Amino acid sequence: MLKEFKEFAMRGNVVDLAVGVIIGAAFGKIVDSLVKDVIMPPIGLLLGNVDFSNLFAVLKEGAKAPGPYETLKAAQEAGAVTVNVGVFFNAVISFVIVAFAVFLLIRTLNKLKSQEPAAPAEPDTKECRFCYRAIPIKATRCPCCTSQL
């Protein structure tokens, strides 16, 4: 069983998949940073200094400290039950960016695959000079008219 597992784990597809997952996780972190640090601040500024990561609704105030809470972190530290709309919005934007990047990657790979020219097939027959019948390429005499080729 250990030998079978080793053969399975060392197959090219499994190793490629592992590399893809690792690169995908790193790409996800980059996209999260892009959304939180680059895209959302200007959008928040355009919408009147809204910080999307701190958009939340309090369902139940915390036992440690009553509301209102300035930030999501303060509400969570107080033990309040919140609906984190801003965090969800950031996650949706991150998902859209990752999905679009994957779409572009797959689209590019499909274009590269379709552009590869197919190798022309080697002919396996030739035409007899006398009777114009198709005969094997290695033939030295036509089986139809028996002429020497």
pLDDT at 78 over 80: yes
User: Bridge-partner residues for 83, per DSSP?
Assistant: 57
Amino acid code (one letter) for 3: K
In whole numbers, what is the pLDDT of the chain averaged over residues? 83
Mean pLDDT, residues 80-101: 86
Mean pLDDT, residues 11-27: 78
Q: CA-based diameter of the chain, in Å?
A: 106
pLDDT at 113 over 80: no
The string of DSSP codes covering the chain is -HHHHHHHHTSHHHHHHHHHHHHHHHHHHHHHHIIIIIIHHHHHHHTTS--GGG--EEEE--SSS-S--SSHHHHHHHT-EEE-HHHHHHHHHHHHHHHHHHHHHHHHHHHHHHHSPPPPPPP-EEE-TTT--EEETT-SB-TTT--B-
Residue with tokens 């007899």: 128
Mean pLDDT, residues 110-124: 76
Name the pLDDT band for 9 (thresholds 50, 70, 90).
low
Mean pLDDT, residues 2-27: 77
Mean pLDDT, residues 54-70: 86
Cβ–Cβ contacts within 10 Å for residue 85, how many?
14
Q: Where are the domains of the chain?
A: 2-122, 123-149
Least confident interval from 14-18, 33-37, 109-113? 14-18
Q: How high is the pLDDT of residue 83?
A: 92
Q: How high is the pLDDT of residue 41?
A: 83
Mean pLDDT, residues 16-20: 78
Q: Domain 2-122: which topology?
A: 1.10.1200
Taking only the tens place, the pLDDT of each residue in 45-55 is: 887 877 777 88
